């Protein structure tokens, strides 16, 4: 390792406070400036009104006592928060968070001072415009057509996934409603499976032939699942429940969605994983054909860009080809959603050279063909909580039946009538906006930071292999998450898992450690092909059904910096090796 960073990387160092608060002076200065501007704004707004708090007021005992209480408790809370997990340090390599960027922090904090509510322009004159511009930045990074696509900020990936699932459901129910009516008027002959995956062209054709009211379009969507099923069965003489095709490595938010949107947990059909640990195209086609034969409407298909456990990327390019094929040759329109809550920002790498392989590049270049996309700026965007976003490829697929709200006049720019959440802070949008305009969501900005984190993964892998005996690290690693366990061949899995648990306890956020990691547990049957391909020289005695792995998210931009006295990758590997002495 050279002793100094590349000059082009040095600019990026201004975007973080630094592990030792190296940029403290600049940060204090900007914070001070933000507060000053806030005070001046207020003073200049209605200057002739006169003061409501007088100097005499400020000198009373009551006033001083109340203020003392605030001061004491502010101090008390700051002391309590000093007990927080030190996520800013390169020694924190656990979950999907680390240092936050300064532009994001400034954007977030200045928004809090103005407190806009992005439910409507009545409550957020400026915040709504910033949200719109920040969405354009995200759309551009991911390759969507900004004139055709849209989206909005959410409190996180779970809500963003809900937002996409709601729109997919609304589209399906709208198509089904029109087809139901057309069927009963006897000018359309199709099955309820065809109706559910109808496509807009046929939908508009049916619309032309009969003047449907808005109510008849939303009838099924607004009904209970039981009532909707009854109405469909009445029109088609048959009803089988719609399914969600979601890979076996899905995030747990999909269970909530299946249950809360009325699909039922059993209709969440897992697509199996191949030897890369990602969606098996063979199984995907098998499942799609099963749906077709069993006439199970396909409410949506989900693929994942950056799985929560292993950071893997589904073969999005190939999946989209399958979806297009069903559309073009079979007239079956499937809503394809990409859950990129974790990995969405890797799209900033799509124009780089040599950093990522061709498969990943092709996947990143296909994301804009999907119907919807979840991205969490509060994960790889280095933005403070809570900040997620949902992107929708076609504006007309974004609109939902609007509930009348007599006390708010919604305008065209407003998102409030279509969002699941009501009141929404503009803080996440502003944080994302300022990050986009400063660091840049492109190869020279985020691409550089994220490229560096991928490189950190490679360096740590090498250090672990050199220093820790019997360490097993899957060779499939698309991004910056690295998982491993330590064990000998023939050793019972229960023993290996117990060792992983002990490692986690040693490097756990539940106590003061010199490094912090996370862990995960993967079911052996779900990942059988993956395990075979990824651990070719290790064959444990499989006496239990799961494998526990230490999980490391290498998000900190300073983990492999050349300047610090400590070499973090080496130091972690040494610390681990020392802990394992006598335990192997």
Ligand X SMILES: *Cc1c(COP(=O)(O)O)cnc(C)c1O
Task: Report the interface residues with ligand X, using CB under 6 A.
Answer: 156-158, 161, 251, 253, 304, 308, 339, 341-342, 376, 388
d(CA 265, CA 256): 8
Q: For residue 182, which of 167, 198, 168, 166 has the smallest C-alpha distance? A: 198
d(CA 455, CA 158): 29
Which single residue is written with the structure tokens 């088609």?
236
Length of the chain: 584
* CB closer to ligand X, 245 vs 341: 341
Q: For residue 318, which of 299, 336, 293 has the smallest C-alpha distance? A: 336
CA separation, residue 151 to residues 56, 117, 160, 331, 419 (Å): 51, 17, 10, 27, 10
Report, in Å, the least distance between residue 160 CB and ligand X: 7
Q: For residue 457, which of 331, 552, 541 has the smallest C-alpha distance? A: 552
* CB closer to ligand X, 154 vs 560: 154
Shortest-Cβ-distance residue relative to ligand X? 157
* CB closer to ligand X, 272 vs 339: 339
Report, in Å, the least distance between residue 64 CB and ligand X: 43
d(CA 308, CA 522): 12
Q: For residue 268, which of 241, 294, 230, 232 has the smallest C-alpha distance? A: 241
Bridge partners, 548 (sequence order): 521
Report residue 400 as tokens. Answer: 């939902």
Report, in Å, the least distance between residue 451 CB and ligand X: 20
Report, in Å, the least distance between residue 339 CB and ligand X: 5
* CB closer to ligand X, 335 vs 535: 335
* CB closer to ligand X, 116 vs 157: 157
Report, in Å, the least distance between residue 254 CB and ligand X: 8
Report, in Å, the least distance between residue 154 CB and ligand X: 8
Report residue 1 as tokens. Answer: 């390792």
Cβ–Cβ contacts within 10 Å for residue 69, how many?
Answer: 10
Q: For residue 556, which of 546, 547, 566, 548 has the smallest C-alpha distance? A: 566
Report, in Å, the least distance between residue 387 CB and ligand X: 8
* CB closer to ligand X, 314 vs 491: 314
* 316, 365 Cβ separation under 8 angstroms: no
* CB closer to ligand X, 12 vs 96: 96
Strands 372-375 and 481-486: unpaired
d(CA 108, CA 106): 5
* CB closer to ligand X, 310 vs 439: 310
* CB closer to ligand X, 156 vs 540: 156
* CB closer to ligand X, 388 vs 457: 388
φ, ψ at 290 (rounded to 5°): -60, -45
φ, ψ at 124 (rounded to 5°): -160, 90
Report, in Å, the least distance between residue 116 CB and ligand X: 22
* 350, 395 Cβ separation under 8 angstroms: no
Report residue 15 as tokens. Answer: 């975007």
* Structure letter (DSSP) for residue 122: T
Report, in Å, the least distance between residue 159 CB and ligand X: 7
Bridge partners, 389 (sequence order): 153, 375
* CB closer to ligand X, 158 vs 419: 158
Residue 247: half-sphere exposure toward Cβ, Cα within 13 Å: 31
Report, in Å, the least distance between residue 570 CB and ligand X: 29
H-assigned helices in 281-404 = 281-294, 316-330, 358-364
Report, in Å, the least distance between residue 52 CB and ligand X: 41
Report, in Å, the least distance between residue 246 CB and ligand X: 11
* CB closer to ligand X, 242 vs 388: 388
3-state helix, strand, coil in the chain (%, to 5): 50, 10, 40
Report, in Å, the least distance between residue 54 CB and ligand X: 46
Q: For residue 16, which of 106, 111, 96 has the smallest C-alpha distance? A: 106
* CB closer to ligand X, 311 vs 540: 311
* CB closer to ligand X, 486 vs 552: 552
Q: For residue 386, which of 421, 418, 434, 413 has the smallest C-alpha distance? A: 421
Report, in Å, the least distance between residue 168 CB and ligand X: 16
């Amino acid at each position: 390792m050279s002793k100094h960073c590349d000059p082009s990387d040095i600019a990026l160092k201004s975007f973080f406070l630094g592990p030792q608060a190296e940029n403290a002076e600049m940060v204090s200065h900007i914070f001070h400036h933000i507060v000053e501007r806030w005070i001046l704004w207020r003073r200049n707004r209605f200057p002739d009104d006169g003061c409501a708090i007088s100097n005499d007021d400020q000198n009373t005992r009551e006033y001083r006592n109340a203020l003392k209480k605030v001061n004491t408790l502010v101090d008390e809370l700051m002391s309590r928060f000093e007990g927080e997990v030190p996520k800013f340090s390169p020694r924190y390599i656990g979950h999907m968070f680390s240092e936050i960027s300064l532009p994001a922090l400034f954007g977030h904090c200045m928004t809090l001072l103005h407190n806009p509510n992005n439910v409507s322009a009545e409550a957020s004159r400026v915040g709504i415009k910033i949200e719109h511009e920040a969405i354009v930045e995200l759309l551009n990074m991911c390759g969507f057509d900004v004139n055709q696509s849209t989206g909005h900020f959410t409190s996180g990936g779970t809500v963003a996934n809900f937002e996409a699932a709601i729109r997919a459901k609304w589209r399906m129910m709208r198509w089904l409603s029109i087809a139901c009516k057309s069927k009963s008027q006897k000018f359309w002959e199709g099955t309820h499976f065809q109706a559910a995956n109808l496509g807009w062209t046929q939908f508009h054709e049916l619309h032309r032939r009969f003047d449907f009211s808005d109510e008849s379009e939303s009838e099924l969507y607004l009904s209970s699942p039981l009532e909707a099923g009854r109405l469909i069965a009445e029109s088609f003489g048959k009803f089988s429940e719609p399914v969600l095709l979601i890979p076996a490595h899905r995030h747990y938010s999909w269970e909530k969605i299946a249950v809360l949107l009325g699909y039922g947990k059993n209709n969440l059909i897992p697509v199996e994983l191949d030897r890369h640990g990602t969606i098996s195209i063979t199984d995907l086609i098998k499942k799609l054909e099963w749906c077709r034969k069993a006439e199970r409407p396909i409410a949506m298909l989900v693929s994942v860009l950056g799985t929560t456990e292993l950071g893997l990327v589904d073969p999005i390019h190939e999946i989209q080809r399958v979806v297009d094929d069903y559309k073009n040759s079979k007239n079956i329109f499937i809503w394809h959603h990409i859950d990129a809550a974790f990995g969405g920002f890797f799209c900033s790498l799509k124009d780089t050279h040599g950093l990522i392989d061709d498969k990943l590049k092709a996947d990143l270049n296909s994301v804009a063909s999907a119907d919807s996309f979840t991205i969490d700026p509060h994960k790889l965007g280095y933005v403070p909580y809570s900040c997620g976003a949902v992107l929708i490829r076609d504006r007309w697929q974004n609109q939902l039946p609007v509930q009348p709200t007599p006390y708010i006049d919604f305008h065209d720019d407003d998102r409030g009538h279509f969002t699941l959440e009501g009141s929404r802070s503009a803080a996440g949008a502003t944080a994302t906006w300022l990050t986009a305009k400063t660091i840049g969501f492109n190869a020279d900005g985020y691409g550089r930071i994220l490229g560096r984190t991928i490189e950190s993964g490679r360096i740590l892998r090498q250090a672990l292999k050199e220093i820790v005996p019997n360490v097993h690290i899957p060779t499939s690693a698309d991004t910056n998450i690295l998982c491993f366990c330590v064990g000998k061949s023939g050793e019972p899995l229960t023993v290996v898992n117990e060792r992983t648990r002990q490692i986690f306890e040693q490097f756990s956020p539940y106590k003061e450690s010199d490094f912090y990691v996370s862990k995960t547990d993967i079911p052996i049957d779900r990942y059988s092909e993956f395990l075979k391909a990824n651990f070719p020289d290790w064959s444990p005695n499989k006496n239990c059904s799961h494998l526990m792995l230490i999980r490391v998210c290498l998000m900190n931009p300073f983990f492999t910096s050349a300047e610090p006295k400590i070499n973090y990758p080496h130091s972690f590997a040494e610390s681990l090796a020392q802990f394992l002495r006598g335990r192997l």
